[in-house]
Amino acid sequence: MEKDWSVQDGSDCDLNELPLVRTWPSLAPHAEAVERLVLMGAIEDDEIRDVLMRTPRGVHALPLPICEESVHIESSALRMPWWSDVDAPNSLLPGIYETAQVIQMMEIVPGDSVMLVAPRGNWWTEVLMQLGASRLRVVEIDDGRREELQRRWDELRLDIVADAVGCSVEWCGLGEAYEDAPEGGWNRILVTGGLPRVPIGLLMRLSYEGIAVAAIGEETGTVLQTMTRQAEGEFQAHWLAIWNVDMLQDEAAQRLCDMSPLTEIAPLDSIESARSNKLAWIRANDEPTRDRLGPAALLDMIEEVWREVSATTEGEEEDIGLREVLAQDLFRMGNVLQRLGILRVAAEHHGTSYLLSPSPEAACYLGMTFSSEEDGLAWQRKAIETNPNYGGSWNEIGESLLQRGEAERAIKWFRGAINSMNYCERGAAWANLARAHLELGQSTSALFAAQEAASLMPEEEELDELLEQLGEALV
């Protein structure tokens, strides 16, 4: 006789039967993160690899108001703020991946003269210097930000490094950008802000066979392009990928694109404080695809993941917890990496998320990244210990037991998942419960569970087939 198919609360499940956590992934140091991009084929140039390994972006970001040495946010796929007002254009440091892609496109040769427009802190300036630029003009549109960049540059003693490597670094506003150009033009030009059209004004200052890299506004967003000067008045452009950057101010764009006379540009807010630094870190990843580089499908997926995870930043600003916000952003980014199949890095994002602010979601998704069943079960146990009402982990444990042929034990965990207060995918647990009963030859119970699953997931064709199969068996 079949056992009663009625659903219990999972109280007969024993967490002590599951293994304890023995492996806790966390974000790797910056150099290791760069090395992984090399192994993945995202960084092909050995010189860029070496330079990126010795120039971490963290020192150029605003101070992180969390004092934990083991939290290597700089190596994560999150953006980092370098300016306290993240609503201002180009106030974020892009990730290592985006940086590597853009810098590689410039094909810098030692001795090149380089113009960098909208520098986004000093990270890319340092990278270009270390790659061998002999003359580097940094064009920051806002006077206050330019002064702050110069102050930080000197504070880090990078002026001494520039002298040592033979690089002349110049700081100027947009009004001086075209003055005193190298004979024959600039070898390389990089614009990190979006432009409404091809910057003819800039390209006229490019040397023959020189390379300019900029993001140009199109219907699909700002598209990263490389442009080379072939002959007098002739340029060749290559479209590469969407790079969703902030647009430059209209006055600045007109100057760069049309060689228009420079009009006055309103200064940006230059107030910086510990409180505003905190808010900058809290809001740095509010817009999930800002500064992301890749195909439209990838950016759409990132948007989808961010929407799926409920916001934790509601309420008064002074009540917002930075640890909780960073934890949630790391969890979201871990989900993105998990969907891309980059499981090791996804696990590190989830592990650091849990370290900053323990949540059952981070533990559960971390458990899914392991190929080892023992490690996976251990983190599902950790999720339930964090919040017994999180049904996702009850279901994951049941699936693991079912896969190794322990259908009787699995049923208890599926029942626990169905009765969990915090679980929005009960249809999946009902479907798994149906499969477990079917595994035990309990057709009546399997049919009931499958009917419940179908009512919650009416578009699942696999359930329709299962119901038809069970109905025929009971006739």
Convert the pLDDT of each residue in 227-257 to its tens digit.
Answer: 998 877 688 888 889 999 999 988 888 888 8
122-136, 183-197, 307-321, 337-351: least confident range: 307-321
Distance, CA of 145 to CA of 121 (rounded, Å): 9
Q: Which two tokens stand for residue 89?
A: 């254009």
Q: What pLDDT is attached to residue 255?
A: 84
Rounded to an integer, the average pLDDT of 78-82 is 97
Answer whether residue 6 shows pLDDT above 70. Answer: no
Q: Which two tokens stand for residue 182?
A: 């190298």
Kindly provide the residue ranges of all beta strands, DSSP E only, lying in 248-381, ordered along the sequence. 293-294
Distance, CA of 19 to CA of 39 (rounded, Å): 32
Q: Which pLDDT band holds residue 107 (cuts at 50, 70, 90)?
A: very high
pTM for the whole structure: 0.91
Rounded to an integer, the average pLDDT of 292-296 is 94
Rounded to an integer, the average pLDDT of 92-106 is 97
Q: What pLDDT is attached to residue 5?
A: 47
Rounded to an integer, the average pLDDT of 290-299 is 95
DSSP state of 376: H
Distance, CA of 164 to CA of 155 (rounded, Å): 16
Read off the amino acid at residue 327: A
From first CA to last CA, the distance across the chain in angstroms is 18
Answer whether residue 219 shows pLDDT above 80. Answer: no
Rounded to an integer, the average pLDDT of 10-33 is 91
Strands 221-231 and 168-172 turn out to be unpaired
23-27, 115-119, 148-152, 231-235: least confident range: 231-235
Q: Which pLDDT band holds residue 315 (cuts at 50, 70, 90)?
A: very low
Q: Which helix (H) or strand (E) holds 115?
A: strand 113-117
Distance, CA of 370 to CA of 64 (rounded, Å): 30
Answer whether residue 271 shows pLDDT above 60. Answer: no
Q: Which pLDDT band holds residue 421 (cuts at 50, 70, 90)?
A: confident
Crossing angle (nearest 10°) for helices 426-439 and 461-474: 40
Instruction: Give me the residues paired with residue 135 across strands.
Output: 113, 168
Do 364 and 383 form a contact (C-beta atoms < 8 A)? yes
Please state, as a whole number, how many other Cβ atoms lie within 10 Å of the Cβ of residue 268: 18
Domains parsed from the chain with CATH numbers: 15-20+291-474 (1.25.40.10), 89-258 (3.40.50.150)
Please state, as a whole number, how many other Cβ atoms lie within 10 Å of the Cβ of residue 473: 12
4-8, 345-349, 371-375: least confident range: 4-8
Convert the pLDDT of each residue in 362-404 to its tens digit.
Answer: 999 999 999 999 999 999 999 999 999 999 999 999 999 999 9
Q: What pLDDT is attached to residue 320?
A: 64
Q: Using CA of residue 128, residue 132, residue 133, residue 138, what is the dihedral sign?
A: positive
Distance, CA of 177 to CA of 115 (rounded, Å): 9
